[in-house]
Amino acid sequence: MGTLLVVRHGQAEGNTVHRLVGHSDVPLDDLGRRQADQLADRLETVGVTRIVSSDLSRALDTVRPLAARVGVEPETDPRLREIDNGEWTGLLPSEVDARWPDLWQAYTAGSDVARPGGERWADVRVRVRSFLADLGTPEGTTVIATHGGPCLLFLEWTLGIEFSGNLFAGVVQAPDNASITTILVPGPRLVGYNDVGHLGEAVPDTTPPYEPVTGG
């Protein structure tokens, strides 16, 4: 029997204004670094045997304090990255709406649109499932540091369903920064989702990832 602890990275630069950072390597902000320390406080005694992270620094730096305390060297895997936003990378929702009004309206209405020069959520699903296939059924406790979209894809894999369209417009709220999703394997079996009980005063931003767009 093994346990997967799927962690969304701590708050990073641009998160509070919902900038579409995607594959850009933005760092944790001051709150995100505090969240990383609080995550380490929470998990240092649970018997972590392996840590695998997205290769983007905001994910890797979220688990570095934990790795130092438990003496486990983090591994990196680019399949755990957030969606590639292509030409949307670094833009605010309002800026995307102004330049691609039809695409943005379809996206916020729930469609899985392809970002110009980037990915669809269906593409991210393929690489997350590839990672899970290679991960197999590990023994012990594996911490997986990733991003909001992949966290939802871990959840759908666990539940044996497939979320349609835009993941962030679906029926499940995207997980908060520095949250923990707990999955038992084999099974898989969901034990907890979006657990932020360790954050104390480092309260994450729980607003939606974009404001609904009602016009072109």
82 counts as catalytic: yes
Q: How far is CA 35 from CA 4, 31, 58, 60, in A?
A: 19, 6, 12, 13
- Is position 119 annotated as part of the catalytic site? no
End-to-end CA distance of the chain: 51
**Whole-Å CA distances, 211 to 3, 27, 94:** 35, 24, 9
Q: Which residues contact 52 (CB under 8 A, 6 or more apart)?
A: 74, 75, 76, 77, 80, 135, 142, 143, 144, 145
In the DSSP assignment, the letter for residue 169 is G
Which position among 9, 119, 147, 156 bears the catalytic label? 9
Instruction: Specify which residues 142 forms β-bridges with.
Output: 4, 50
Catalytic residue among 13, 18, 75, 82: 82
Q: Helices 121-135 and 148-159 meet at what angle, rounded to 10?
A: 60
Distances (CA, A) of 88 to 79, 84, 111, 193: 20, 9, 16, 29
Among candidates 181, 179, 153, 182, which has minimal Cα distance to 166? Answer: 153
Please list the active-site residues: 9, 82
